[in-house]
Structure formats: structure tokens, C-alpha cells
Structure 1
Amino acid sequence: MVRAIRGAIQVGANDRDSIIEGTTELVAQIMARNELTTDDVISVLFTATPDLTAEFPALAARKLGFHDVPLICTTEIDVPGALPRVVRLMAHVETDRPRAAIQHVYLRGAVALRQDIAQ
């Protein structure tokens, strides 16, 4: 089955190291909590709030071994009052897990975005 997994993390600053470190943590947590390998991943869409411009979040996934997985980055819409410095992702994966068993991951300040599904 194909499932979509959501996640987000708030990073500390608009600098390359913060974006890579935060995105690495997010991707690693999603993979571990859902017992996935890169072979299970179909594609990943990354978004970043407009205040994050120092690096592409997808680079972190490449460094984790997502060499032949299609990845793309885009900018979130600039909603007034939105949580700043957030990297989000939606991963499409092949898994036998039922939808209710998927672990969506929201870390640091991004927990506030989806308290209903953050684990």
C-alpha cells in the first residue's frame, strides 16, 4: 500500500547548519518510527517557511542516503502570524501498515502545528 507521512520541525535559525541538522532529525525520526528504509520511500515533498532560505532541506535527505528517491523543495505560503522557521515534509511510502498505525512526526516548536496527530 502507498501511505503519506507528514512531519515538521522548527529550526533555530536561517543558516545552512540549522536547516540540515533539523531536517536530518525529522527525516531520521520518520524513518525510525515507521520502520522504513529508503527503498520504501516513493518520494518526498519538503516545504520551508519563507524565512528559511539558506539551504534546501532535501540536501539532508540526500546525505541520509536518499540518492535515487525523488525529492523536491518549495516555499510554504506566507501566512501572517504563522510559526517561523519550519521545515515540513510529506513522504509517500510503500508500507503494510494500516493508516492508523502511521507515525506522523512533529518536533520542537512544530508540535503546536498538529497536536491532534503529533506523536
Structure 2
Amino acid sequence: MLTGLHHVQVACPAGSEEALRAFYGGVLGMTEVAKPPVLAARGGAWFRSGGAEIHCGVEADFRPALKAHPGLLTADLDRLAAACEEAGHPVQWDPDFPGHRRLYVSDPVGNRLELLEPHPAG
């Protein structure tokens, strides 16, 4: 039986690690997680915030995920939206998810992310 979600992996091209660090670490405020040495040799980078972990893995024939995406929860969607826009990552608001405010944004290599903030109870 499943007990939780450990991480979500998104693909990235070789050599994109610095741009990913600037986005996931700088813009989204996630903390980079040290990869085990045997995996670090493959490139990519891992990030964590709260219970969310995203692994960016190098894929030789990279194509960004334009539809598939991780959905990440936040308590301050407006702040994250402003940080994304300020860093040159346009956001697309989508009001069609009951109980949440949400938007979509692409990481520096084109992968789609969904950021959600639950509506206050009541």
C-alpha cells in the first residue's frame, strides 16, 4: 500500500543545472538537496520545500513536459506569482480548480508547473 509521495521527477537537458538552481532555488525558494555521488555524476539537481521534492534529471533526448506537471501547494500564491513574473517566467492564472487558486508557470527549460493555494475554509 502506498504511504505518500517521495518526489516528482522532471526532465532537463544537460548543462541546464544553473538555470534550474536559479528558478527552483531562487524564484520558488526551494532548497537544493545533495544528490548521492553515483547519481550526481549523471547531472541534474534535486530540490525540496516542505513535503515537496522535485528531481530534475538529465534526459539525452530532452523535450519539456507541456501538459504533464507537478502540482505544488503554497500558502502565498500571489508572492510566488510576482517572483515568477519578476524573474521573467510569465504565469497563466486558471480559476477552474474548486477549492483552490491556481496558476501555471514553466521552469527555465519549459516544463509546466502548477502552483496552488487552497481557499480559506468557510
Q: Would you say same fold, with TM above 0.5? A: no
**TM-score, normalized by length of structure 1?**
0.31
**TM-score, normalized by length of structure 2?**
0.30
Larger Rg, first or second structure (1 or 2): 2
Considering fraction of residues, name the structure with more strand.
2
Choose between structure 1 and 2 for higher RCO, CA contacts under 8 A separated by at least 6 residues: 1
Considering fraction of residues, name the structure with more helix.
1
